[in-house]
Each structure stands twice: as C-alpha cells, then as structure tokens.
Structure 1
C-alpha cells in the first residue's frame, strides 16, 4: 500500500501548492498510475505524513527501480520524475497567460508566481540545492559570496557506460540544453529530462526571447533569458539594448551577459543567453572610485568602481543614451592595447578584448556595469593571463564568468572533503590532505596562532574567501596597484 499512499500524498501536496485544483485530483492520480504501470487504486489508502513534493517523487522513482520498471540509472530516474511532475503543471500557453495577467498588475507578482511554479514542479532542484555549502567572506571590497556546489549529482559508472554505448548521444535535438525545444522534452541518456520545464515568452529588440529559471539556482530567483534562435554568444550594441529593455520590464531584477570569448566567457558559448535574478551582489553595491566625463555623452554619468576587476559604471535616466555610451566604450576597448600591462587587442585576426555587461535599475535611473576582459594566453599563463593563476587553482581553476565577476564564487564539490582534511592538517591530526593544498595550509598555520577546534572552520572560510578575492584580482585587466590604475586612466583618457 505504500506506493499508493505516496501517490495520494503527491496529489494532495500538488493541490496544497496550487499546482492543480481539487477537481483535478482523480485525473492527476490516474496519470501517475499510468507512469508507474499500475492499473487500479485501492479504496482505503493509509494517510501519509506530510512530505515535500521532491521527496514524494523520489519515493516513486525508487519504487519504479525496485519493480524493474526503469534501470537504476540517474538519467532514467530523472526522466520518470520529470514526467510525473509534468502531470501537475499547466501547458506553456496557460502558464504564460497567468504570468502576463499578473505582470499587468506588477512584474514582481508575475515572477513570484513563475519562480514558485518552477520550485513546486521540481524543475528547480530545491532538495539538491539545499546540499550546497554557502557563506559570506568579508573583504576590502565588501562581502563576497562563497558557494561549494554540491547540487549537481555525480554520474555513476553505469550512467557513464550507458552514455558511451547509447547511439542517442548522436542525436542533436534539442541542439543544446538552452534551446526552446527543451520545453516539455522527455530527455534521454546524456540529455536532461525537461517534461516539467516551462518558459515565459517575451520580445526584446524585436526578437523572440524566453525567460526560465536555472534548475540549480546559485542565488535568489537565478533566471536565464535565452534567444529563440540557436546562435553563438555575442556582445554588441543589441546586447545593451536587450539588457536595459529587460530591467525596464522587470525593475526588481538585474541581468547580465557572460563575455563572448573563450576563457573569459561562461560555460555555454553556443547559445546566446543572459543571466539575472533578484539578488544584490557585492559588486552592485561597490562604491564609485573615479568619476570621469565622456565628451560625446554629457547626459551619462560615468565612473570606475572599487572592485578587484576593472569596471566602468554608467548611469542615466534614458536607456538609449546608455546604449550609445556603452557601445562607444566597447568599440574602443575591443581595439585597445597597452603592452606595458599585457593588454593586446589582437593576435593576427584573433580578438582578445571583450566585456561582461550587467544592467540594473536604481530608482528612476538605469545602471550598466561594463567589466573589461581579455583572454590572451602566454607560455607562462597557458590558461589565460587574466585568468586564475596556478597558485589559486587548488581552490578555483574554472572560467570566471558573470556570476563570479559579480562576487559569487562557485567552487567545485571536491572542496567539501578536501577542506575537512585541511582542517585536520591545521589541528595536527591524522589527515589525507591533497598535496596541492599543503603550501596554502602551511601559510595558514604561519599566520594564525589561534587554531583550535572552535576557530579552525571560520579561519578556513576566511582564507577561502581570500583565495577567491585573488581569483578576481587575477582576472582584472588593470591591476589594483599604481601601475595598473595608471594604465586604467590611460584607457579612460582615450574615451
């Protein structure tokens, strides 16, 4: 009877969450029965203690594995759980109609509705996200956010073997994990299940764009805004138009774009998209440092920002003026070289300079941050001159994209166990510290005389924060020293 109690609990939970109405209960229950190949439902089903929807769905997928309905493989379980939750979600047209009815009243009410729907439908993986380790680290630039990402499940050997053997991996539909064709797609081995996925339609700059949330949100209401057309990431004038258009529609959200070049870009460069959300990062509240004038744009307030990376902040009441000023700065930066500080715009026809732009609203004003980036490599720095340098790779080696630029470290899952071993090392206990952490751990010992059971965890957190600050400083094109800041001024003078 346990499986029937779980089904009943799921149906009742969906009613309580507002996913379905009471009149939909029998229909929904029968749909779930079909997915589990059950032909009937008993008259008397024992009551089930109240549980979260993700826990109930997990119980049903475990039942399917036990009954031999699906193999005990991650992708197969994801496909089934997504299909089960899809029973309780309205069609895209209905979701969009509800969204825009609420949008007319207040954009924030609309996004609250859609965010809640994405959580309750288990599209946003709330149970897995809860596993992440996160805290704040105080620095001279404000509080940086530190996250050790434990939410994405690791593939087991059976899953990896299936992916290698399956000819389904040769299928190129959808073209990528961001394409609109993912909406409602059942999934397959090697491609995530998206039966319970919904997107909000919108127009930006005369094109079809789509709003969704990240399945593994790194901050509050972490959304993705993607182009309807599958095309490469690009930064151009239209990028600024769209970003400011978006915050005009959703003034409670920020939105930004990863850079459009390898090394300094994000993890997906093959589909034009932006990321946003309802969260204030340390960079957003960092203070202005040097106010300057751009002669051709007197209506735009321009300043550099006190931040480890090189940021120009533009402010104004008119989006069109900010677009023009941002485009002017971007075009100047694309062709700017200063070999004295390792900045070279081109190697032959290969461009190295780009930007990471971020837009937000400040009361009645629009604000646009332009983070200057360069992806050049050398023999000394084969992964990038303005990329985390080797001495911080034991903490962070991956690309520094939009989220990190703004002050949120997304650190690898391996650090959960590795930092525990570092703690043991610092307390002179038997440990299995990885060799690449030893030099760092010795430095910590040297600078902290108060290491004990009560203090060691906080000290480790502080030192990880310092390492992430170093990561951002490495990625900054104009360093936070006299030579670097003088070079920054030379560029601003050209404007």
Structure 2
C-alpha cells in the first residue's frame, strides 16, 4: 500500500468524523497528527482521493498489518481500529453534557443523539450488524421474530492461541464494569476506547446506560449497576426497572432471571436490557384475568403466549411493584409436583422470574415471566429449556430477548440452511451428510407438510419452519403449557 493511499484513507476518516459531528473542525490538525503518530508516519500531504467509511478505516488496518504493527486477525484489527476511533470520539464529559442538553428537549431527543453517536463512532459496527438475517414467522401465538446472528465475527485460531498465552489481569472485572470506558483491550477482552456510558440514577443509585454493540433489536441498550455486584431478582428490581422507564418512557427495560440455565450470560454483574422496540410478547393478547385480594387497583391477567406471562397494569407504580413483590415471594417457594414445579431440590432453588417493565398509555405495566431451572435425567440441560430434538436449531439458554419473542440463532444456520435448501431440492439423503444429518427428522416432517416445496418457495418455507421451531422452543421454556392441563395447573 502506498503512503498516498494511507494519507487518503486518513483524510477520508477525518472527513467522516467531522461530517458526523464527532470532530470539531478546529481539532482536525490535532486529530490528524495523533493518527499519523499511531500509524508511524512522520510526513503528510493532503490527497484528493476519498474512501467511504468504514473502508477508510479498513485500509488503515491493512497498512498497520502490512507494516507489522498488528497481526492481520479480526481481534488485532478490532483493537487497532477501535484505538483510532477512540481518538475521534468525543470525551465522556462532552457526551454527557450534550446528552443532558438534549434530554431537556425530550428523553427521546437524548437517546436519539446517544444511539446515533454510538453507531457513528463505530462502537456499534453498522457494517457487521447489516450482515444479520432477520424475518418474522407467523405462528399460533402470532408473529415471532427470528434473527441469525452474523455480526459477531468468528474467532481466528491465532487470536485463540494468543489469548491462551496471555495472563488475565482481572481489570476490568467484566464487560459491564464502568472501567471499560476507554480501555485499550486485549486479544481476550474487546477494546472500548470508543465506548461511552451515560450516568443515570436508578432508584437513588448511580448506574450506567450504554448501547449493546450487537444491537439485536432497535436501540438495544444495557443499564448496569456502577458496582460489580451479582444479579438478584427481588422486590427492589421492580422499583429499579420503573425508575429508568420513568426517565425514558419510550423505552422498555427488562432483566434476565437470576438463576443458571434460565438466566443471562453475565450473572456476576447486575444489569438490565432495554430499548425502543415492541416485541411479540408485548403484543400478546389477554387470555384470562385474575384478581388478587387487596389489589383491586391493579389489573392482572395471563397473556396468550407460549411462556407463562403474568401481566400487571396499574396507575400507581408502588402498588404494582408491591403486588409484583408478593407474587415473586410466593413463586419462589411454590411447588406443584403434579405439574413438575419444584421450588427447590436438594437445597437448590429453581423458581424465579424474568421481569419486563414498560409504560402503556400512561400506565405502568410489568410482565412477570415465570421461570424454573429444574433438570431431570431426561432433560439434563433443563426441563424448561429447549428440548434435545430442537437443538439442531436452538440449544442455548432462553434469556430475556428470546423470552420476549426474538430468536437469536447461531450464525452456523446461514450456511446450513442454504445447504439444506440445495440438498432438499436435489433429493439428497440428509442422513448421509455429516453437517445436515441433524436436520433430517425436521426436514422430512416439514416436507410432508409442504408438498408445494420448490426452488421458488424453498427459502420462505424453511424460514417459516424455523419460526415454528422457535415457537416450540418457547413452549419448552414455558413452565405452564398452553394446554387444558397446563392452564388448570396455573389456576390452582
């Protein structure tokens, strides 16, 4: 790569930063010299040639790899380009000041600014998010949302080897700790120089508010305790959820459950997830109502949904949270052996909830999704977990996002489904294919349901059938099934 190309890429990056409002024109020379230093260049000549973003950033990584500054791996390139973008991202205090000024206009104006900034500074990598595949599938529970996660790059074997050799520093303690802001990263911990976290008060305590770099849905945000403290679902969680939602009423906020199998991937640091998106569960209709003595002012119902969802709606937040706390306390200790519900076995607790808070038509609304992490000999990964016959599509834990009706499926499915389509159209024996044999039973069953399967509709049928599998996944995770026996047990 010529020096002129590097200069042109650098000019393009600076133009992009100014155009997006990341860089003030008065800071351009300072920023250019900073980046030249990072690239090991002493001279500079302005170029007319321009590259789009992120191509200009990729070219600078190419140059760094060419010159031996970094290894040409995904992790090393990510560390390097994040460092460069960190020099162009406004300082945390500037971002906070601008956010608060926008908040004075409206909460939505503030989050619009913050979300756009998080994308413009490449913390949220738009080019990678665009690779994700998304569709909706009609099921007996209404439309469910499906995504195949392709935005997380595959790990390079060289990065894996380097990570094994590197001794963990223990700083930051986890990916959610506030010390991540500005952190240079390692091959085993992502760089965060372009991360900005908004300080917010949640129920009288200092928390942080940021966006997820993977954006599984619109404005996917993370709200985390400023202290590294474990996840716990208790009465106070409901107050915390609504404390945030009151400040940002256009967002929902929910929490993963606090037990293994039914919980999230990071149980060691208290955090919630929210955003500006209407999930299938929120759209689910009332199935039947119920009353709780002394809480006539709280509307209570069970919604028609594959998981067991108790929906509470009230004008008074404190009354709603009091009832939620009462339900949680009751559920923690509730057992019904006939329904395979055990509060604990051998001293291990099993019952918890996945709560989701939102405002609806000026009223407070809380969904409590009943969860249980019991394991059995037949289902060692969890009785209320995707069962083995569904693992060819989804075997990971069902966390908050899936609970609400959005499947986050592994990237392997993109190629597998493309290969499956071709194999079925050619009439190949799937059981003789090492990769596709796990899909054989499923494919044979849906082919019998779709005699019209052909080259024109194959992809649509496969996507529809994946949606049906996800509906079954949620049914597995539901403690009380949507059957006569299941509903009778729920009403006991």
TM-score band w.r.t. shorter chain: over 0.9
- Tell me the distance in 1 between the aligned counterparts of 2:420 and 2:440: 8
**Alignment partner, residue 469 of structure 1:** 471
Partner SS, residue 323 of structure 1? helix
**Alignment partner, residue 14 of structure 2:** 11
Shift of 1:349: 2.1
Partner SS, residue 229 of structure 1? coil
- Tell me the distance in 1 between the aligned counterparts of 2:366 and 2:69: 52
Runs of 4 or more consecutive aligned structure 1 residues displaced over 3 Å after TM superposition: 429-433
Shift of 1:429: 4.8
Partner SS, residue 87 of structure 1? helix
Shift of 1:469: 0.2
Shift of 1:143: 1.2
Question: Do the aligned partners of 1:204 and 1:242 also contact (CA within 8 Å) in 2?
Answer: yes
- Tell me the distance in 2 between the aligned counterparts of 1:150 and 1:137: 19
1:188-199 to 2 correspondence within 5 Å? 188-199=186-197
- Tell me the distance in 1 between the aligned counterparts of 2:238 and 2:294: 18
RMSD over aligned Cα atoms: 1.1
**Alignment partner, residue 457 of structure 1:** 459
Stretches of structure 1 that go unaligned for 5 or more consecutive residues are 491-495
**Alignment partner, residue 27 of structure 1:** 30
- Tell me the distance in 2 between the aligned counterparts of 1:141 and 1:429: 33
Question: Do the aligned partners of 1:75 and 1:193 also contact (CA within 8 Å) in 2?
Answer: no
Post-superposition Cα deviations, 1:228-282, rounded to whole Å, max 9, x if no partner, equal: 1101111011110010111100010001000000000011111110000000001
Of residues 350, 355, 358, the one that matches 1:357 is 355
Shift of 1:19: 0.9
**Alignment partner, residue 493 of structure 1:** none
**Alignment partner, residue 367 of structure 1:** 365
- Tell me the distance in 1 between the aligned counterparts of 2:7 and 2:427: 50
Q: TM-score, normalised by structure 1?
A: 0.96
1:424 and 2:427 matched: no
Post-superposition Cα deviations, 1:416-449, rounded to whole Å, max 9, x if no partner, equal: 1111122123212557452111111111221111
**Alignment partner, residue 232 of structure 1:** 230
Count of residues in Structure 1 that have an aligned counterpart in Structure 2? 485
**Alignment partner, residue 68 of structure 1:** 68
Post-superposition Cα deviations, 1:114-145, rounded to whole Å, max 9, x if no partner, equal: 00000000001211111111111011222111
1:280 and 2:278 matched: yes
- Tell me the distance in 1 between the aligned counterparts of 2:320 and 2:484: 30
**Alignment partner, residue 332 of structure 1:** 330
**Alignment partner, residue 87 of structure 1:** 87
Shift of 1:480: 0.8
Question: Do the aligned partners of 1:389 and 1:474 also contact (CA within 8 Å) in 2?
Answer: yes
Of residues 429, 433, 436, the one that matches 1:434 is 436
- Tell me the distance in 1 between the aligned counterparts of 2:62 and 2:282: 44
- Tell me the distance in 2 between the aligned counterparts of 1:104 and 1:237: 31
- Tell me the distance in 2 between the aligned counterparts of 1:6 and 1:270: 41
1:78-477 to 2 correspondence within 5 Å? 78-167=78-167, 170-429=168-427, 432=433, 433-477=435-479
Shift of 1:47: 2.4
- Tell me the distance in 2 between the aligned counterparts of 1:142 and 1:124: 31
- Tell me the distance in 1 between the aligned counterparts of 2:178 and 2:253: 19
